[in-house]
Amino acid sequence: MSRRQVGSTRRGGSLPFVGVINSKSKSSPLVSVVLVVLGVILLIGYASRSSRSSGAFGGSREADSKVEGDFSCTAEVERAIPSLKKAYGDSMRKVLHVGPDTCSVVSKLLKEEETEAWGVEPYDIEDADGICKSLVHKGIVRVADIKFPLPYKAKSFSLVIVSDTLDYLSTKFLNKTLPEFARVSSDGLVIFTGYPGQQRAKVAELSKFGRPAKLRSSSWWVRFFVQTSLEENEAAIKKFEQAASKNSYKPSCQVFHLNSYH
């Protein structure tokens, strides 16, 4: 169809909407407003799809850890190591870390002076890198279901650090697992857990973690510690807070310091 025919069609009125747009009638301002509103709606829809695909924090947050979700307390453990060393001193000599991406935490701990470290990975590590597979081969890191007793003797480690895993356990298993962590420690137990409202595993990852995360308040944890006969380590709490303040470090997770069973 030629341009001439299109023009004649407009004059013939067979395409009234096009005629309205191009005419100088009184209705053209209204049409212009409608078109602007439609354009704004389309832009909002595009922006919404983009934000959902990239996540609320973009891709950089997820790159910090292999834990799927918006935040990882395992990544937080690495940031807290300097403050933990100040708070626990010699008790950082033999450390067990329990949590996803434990290879990363153990590798960093092993770089610290006079510190030996081991790890328990509660989830599969099929996509682990060469360094992690080497730690597993050497027996430094173990893949184990933490719902069952740990393969260590009592007081095998001076300090046990736990991150993320407790958020995915029901109370039924917490009653068994937390005392087990305390059993294998001699000088203390440090727990990193999420704040209520922080997002954890995505629906697609529930097959890995077994259940959605249940992020509990600090008051809930304190009551639970009392029920399991675990006492908070007031001296360690004070030293950790002082060291964190001096290092300008503000934890993004809840951090609990507990005494071992005696």
Q: What are the residue ranges spanned by the domains of the chain?
A: 3-54, 67-258
Q: Which CATH superfamily is domain 67-258 in?
A: Vaccinia Virus protein VP39 (3.40.50.150)
- Determine the average pLDDT of the residues in 182-197: 94
Rounded mean pLDDT, 108-126: 91
pTM of the model: 0.70
H, E, C per residue of 150-187: CCCCCCCEEEEEEECHHHHCCHHHHHHHHHHHHHCEEE
Question: According to the model, what pLDDT value does residue 124 have?
Answer: 77
Evaluate if residue 150 carries a pLDDT over 60.
yes
CA 62 – CA 128 distance, rounded (Å): 16
Q: pLDDT tens digits, residue range 22-66? A: 444 445 676 676 676 677 677 665 555 444 333 322 333 333 334
Using alpha carbons only, how large is the chain's radius of gyration in Å? Answer: 28
pLDDT of residue 112: 93
Instruction: Measure Cα distances from 70 to 3, 49, 58, 254 in Å.
Output: 55, 18, 9, 16
